[in-house]
Structure 1
Amino acid sequence: MKKRVVVTGIGAISSLGNNVAEMTDSLENGRIKYDTVPQDRFPTSHKLFANNRGFMMDYSLYKHSWEKDVSIMSEVAVKCISEALESAHLCEEQLQQHMAGLCLGTSVGASFPILQRIKKTVEKSEDDYELALYSTPKILGKIARAFKLRGYVSAISTACASGTNSIGRAFDLVENGKAEIMISGGMDIFTELTYTGFNSLLAISKTKCKPFSKTRDGMSLGDACAILVLESLDSALARGAHIYAEIKGYHILNEAYHATAPHPEGKYALKCMKQALAYGGMSEEDVDYINAHGTGTGKNDGAELKACEALLQEKKSRTYVGSTKCLTGHTLGAAGSIEAVISILSMRHSALYANYDATDLPESEKIEFVTKNKSGVPLNTVLSNSFGFGGNMASILLTKYNN
């Protein structure tokens, strides 16, 4: 018999703050941090760059993490996981007792040390083999050792769907009785590689991302790490854990349409959302809010909007649709997990979060777009989407816990 899976701990680091409390305060007060990229991070003065800004994590934490570990991400992840475990009231002994595991998603992994190695080779004719030892599996191994984890350890790298897929993988393990407790989520710190890569695709906004706006001109990149502690309902109830939300289902697919663009009609995005709902035994009538992938690029937003319209065409009432990337930027492998955490906060506080000006949104009979904060909105069910490069797609269905 499949087990019910609940979220008993959350942690988050992003441009919105160094923990969930700081992030919540920023969300509720409409504060965003979209700043100039520091020169010691990477230069952005080239005339071919669309702009020189990003949604960056606290600079002192960035520098501190870099000084302790050249990958940056392992230090950030350990801090974020520690917050999630503290909110779940789980200690190291309990993690070992329950054979807790780790499943983390990342899109660019160890690109920061890789870039440093390349630069040393080109600029100084010096090959630093220590930097060559860094890889995504090594980073995850270091994180797992920090908490003495003895269960499943998985690295998920499915482009911008990595964060959602990591939660889905952990959900599978817990639901099917292969694990009682899983630490899941995503992490990515955007680097010169990702910035110049998206810029070469003409995908970076010249100003700031405006999801679904008719005048949108691209994405804005961001840093993030977000962690969810997943646990069987039986385990959570047995130890009297606080339950933040329940995961009802998810779906993953690859549309195999194009390396960097979705199917223009959004038919695979539609299938992904429908299958996630079907897995959870729910329908579009149950959905209160769709936390869209919503990158602010023409092709992604256009296809996803068509998919949402098709999903909701028979629904009797309008549905809120928004993208919290206007608050965090596109955090790549962490996007799905930071959006899952924000979705949980939305349900807990009966609020929707966004902060951008858009007077040119498409007209829709079925969708009410979210561009500014809305309070006093009862939310019981959220569908969160992650539709990435290479055709990687994932949707996850989150609900308030109801005994």
Structure 2
Amino acid sequence: MFQLRPPGTGLQSRERADGDAGGIADPPKGEFARLPDGPQSATDPRQLIRARHRSSSVLTIRQTLLSTLCASAHDEAMDSTAHKLDTDVVIVGGGPAGLSAALSLGRARRQVLVVDQARPRNRTAPHMHGVLGHDGLPPLKLLEMGRREVAAYGVRTIVGDAVSARASESGIEVTTTDGVIRARRIIVATGLTDELPEIPGLREQWGTGAVVCPYCDGWEHRHHVIGVVATSPQSVAQAQLLRQWSDRVVYFANDVGEPDEAEADALARRDIRVERGAVMSLQISNGRLEGIRLEDRTVPVDVVFTGPTLRPNDELLRSLGADTTDGPMGSWVTVDRDGRTSIPRVWATGNVVDPRANVSVSLGLGSLTAGTVNADLVQEDITRAPTKGSTSLASEPSH
């Protein structure tokens, strides 16, 4: 039986901005906390849960890890040839990708711990769309359902931050804000952060009156006046895409500058109006978006679409020395199609390594990565299994 050690020295992660992936609150003993339905745009989900369960006895990380190892039913199911550390797999990040991986691994009778910051990227959105079977479901509700499902297979979830990690020949050592976890494998599913343009009012409206994804929010704003605030040359393509949902799209050139001649002609042919000048702020009344303020005028709009800068929360992966690849959207940790990084025993999945991974894609990627991790553990179990002599049939002696 191990003892949780206090955090030691090691490479520390940079402080994470709002928008980190994950999404769980401190679980009361015996069951996971239930998140309320409906919009959560103005409140940190961790505060909601803690206020609701102040009188509950909360599992500490020490109790969580201890109960994971002592759960007799789960221990009996484990292969006796497994190389025993604190747990088989530690998953850092409890969003759709992380919980999906946890579900598959739990069903594979692996010991799994999920470490989550409880700050999901989409926590300000009242609903999510385009997720088959869950269209219109609040995103925090999906995470609540996921935590209950994985718990049924012995997966334990703890609230905390994984601040550093170290890989060795025997496994992975993860230092959290509460102690150290040793695992055979690690899956990093920490998501990404949306870095928003410095436009007053934009952060307050993010997830409701200001959004990014046409496939997530376009239907709800069909036929509305849609304002596209340019943040890069790719914003012209965003305006053209949104023309599919509304014939009242307004392109705000902002500080990006004028569209070139070909772009301006294409916008005009689809009746997309171009507003020139820097965007000063959003006009908001009683919490509702009413328009976009320029230097000398205000343009009424019903919703703002814009393109934030996407920053992967990959400090843990970089501290381990994972290879990266530079591309049009910046530098991202390199993984193969199964989520395997360049570091042995280290996987990553979801939009910490793929900026295109929405909720549906992240669910699939988490499941795919979990299957590969389990297969890798099986190979290690075979290698570590003691030799018990040959089982081949001896040849009959000749006469």
Q: Same fold, TM exceeding 0.5?
A: no
TM-score (norm 2): 0.26
Larger Rg over CA atoms: 2
